[in-house]
Structure 1
Amino acid sequence: MKEKSASVGEMGKSGENEIAIASEELIGNIRPLIEQAKARVAQSVNSGLVLLYWQIGKRISDDLPAESRAEYGAKVVELVSERLAAEYGKGFRRSNVFHMIRFAEAFDDAKIVQTLSGQLSWSHFIEIIYFKDPLQRQFYTEMARVERWSVRTLRKKIQGMLYERTAISRKPEELARQELEDLKEEDRMTPDLVFQDPYLLDFLGLEDTYSERDLEAAILRELERFLLELGTDFSFIARQKRMTIGDRDFYLDMLFYHRSLRRLVAIELKLGSFDAAYKGQMELYLRWLDRYERRPGEEAPIGLILCSEKNREQIELLQLDRGEIRVAEYLVELPPKGLLEAKLHEAIRLARGQEELCSYQSKWH
């Protein structure tokens, strides 16, 4: 009898283990369903909230034209916000109601708002709506949507003047608008939307004197932040990529892949000013990558030469502001914002002046 009891006891333990294992497996299968449902509900709530705020802003804008808002309109809005906040909560406080009005003014197409409401939160829109330049506003809207930026990432991109550092900001308005429309309609990224100038690498913490290898090593130590500076679609592939060409070995500093562009991106790091010889070196690397590393369905590889200084005349003569090779400066110390703004605005002015000159010349030839 004792032996039989022991056997029953062992069977009981085994049964408990089986029950525990089965319950864990079931919980593991159920948990994703709950998380997915929570995400759908949160997205639905966010979408509904964004649309509601736009509708409120639109109604106020329609009922109180801009010319009536100086004093009378502001007092009406304050009274409305007090009543709504008392009835429906803090989301209708004065500052937020004014955000709603600005939101309706900045995004005047209900269909666009409906589409974006499922992808961007109200906090995203607050960061974007006060840009005076419609192209700047559209750039951050579409990039945040396509690259799925968090609000924190969007804020950092704006503070780092990402728009001003991309080639799109230096283009004539019509071309820039068309490129942003293509991004909105087809999610089609271009090198001018991806590459920046200058790149802000102040987070690397380099000393006053450093070598190209020091710069490369520092970037790899801080790879996550470097990738965020490049853009969220960049994936790291290799460091010091070896290329055997003829009887010689060449080494590319860094190789990345950009998902939206569907291209390999070769990056060379250079100290000092840009030199024309760097173009030939990069062209050799790109031809090799195109022949031996490019996969079916990918576009041709492109290259980025990062220099501590740019030689603008050489770059213009070599036409490196368009095509498969780009040159950009990097800053290992973040300059005062005013100085950076002046530098970028001057670059934009020069680039637009060059485009206008080319356009003018083409009309006469």
Structure 2
Amino acid sequence: MNFERLVKTISNTHGHFQQQAARAVNVSLTLRNWLIGFYIVEFELHGEDRSVYGDKLFDELAKRLKSIKGVDRRSLYRFKDFYLLYPQISNYITDNQSALFLPASSTYQIMGSATPQKEDFQKVGSVTPQSQNKKQVPVEKLITCLSYTHIEQLLQIKDLLKRTFYEIACIKGTWSVKELKRQINSLYYERSGLSTKPEMLSQSTQQKAEKASSSDIVKSVYAFEFLGLKVKNAVEESDLETALLDHLQDFMLEMGHGFCLEARQKKILIGDEYFFIDLVFYHRILKCHVLVELKVEDFNHYNIGQLNTYVNYYKAHVMQADDNPTVGILLVTNKNTALVEFATTGMDNKLFVSKYLLELPKKELLEAFITNELQKWNS
């Protein structure tokens, strides 16, 4: 064995066991969430004191379980949906976990569980909206090939055939969660149904799709919360972005303009989805929150729209009576250039905006900072 062979062998061994670890974490997280949903439904149907809680069940559960990261009111509803939409997972649990989590009591009866099909999938593209095929994805593939983050996206699809279509496409193409979400939003299912050659559309789509890696599961927000680890590292997409945020955080605090760091990767819930704000400051002179978003990509309208959404969220849910309106700063990088945009939603008073701009870092200064950091990174 030469040195290059040694390096390759160690790298391959690491990759193999990293994949095993990621798969084990994901399977455990997925099964835990399904079982929580099962327990909730079981309690709603047969709980001795269920009438005491009624509509307040999820609120009370969330309060009592607040020590468990990632288990809140919203996620409890999701777990219930997960159980109701995927009853066939009971087959996997009873096959692999014996009766440890599913007591043999007569009240613990799994609803409508279907025996998983042993056959492999049909080709993606042949399961189209015109098809009446009710074949399910084998339950073991659902559990081992899709992360719970994937499943969260699929739970929003109530139509069984449509959901199965995306399950198959996602597993076949090893899509990242981002890619699955993009394909759902692009109406891939509907376009496949309208296409005269769905196989050709499938081939084209899969060639362009972003693939998932084992590290995606390891860095999943849900996995980090499940393991009781800090979420910060799970939502920073690259070493470059992490380094830029580290330096940007220090840069803003050292400017002497009244910035106080309140949070990094601040987790907020908007509608049915979690978002993470890169940096949240409170400005003691302006008496307002300052939200900073860094995007290691070209500027697009989605970026500024997202930041405006965060600003509006703070206005509706965080801002106190004596606070001034929240301001957002968007930093966009493109190779060795930088672009800075300010989000000032709801600031109709031009004088008020001018006051903000006197206290906040000048646009040119922020652009120079980002450009300088990029040059150091690329040198």
TM-score by length of 2: 0.37
Please state which structure has a larger fraction of its residues in helix.
1
TM-score normalised over the length of structure 1: 0.39
Larger RCO: 1 or 2 (CA < 8 Å, sep 6+): 1
* Larger Cα-atom Rg: 1
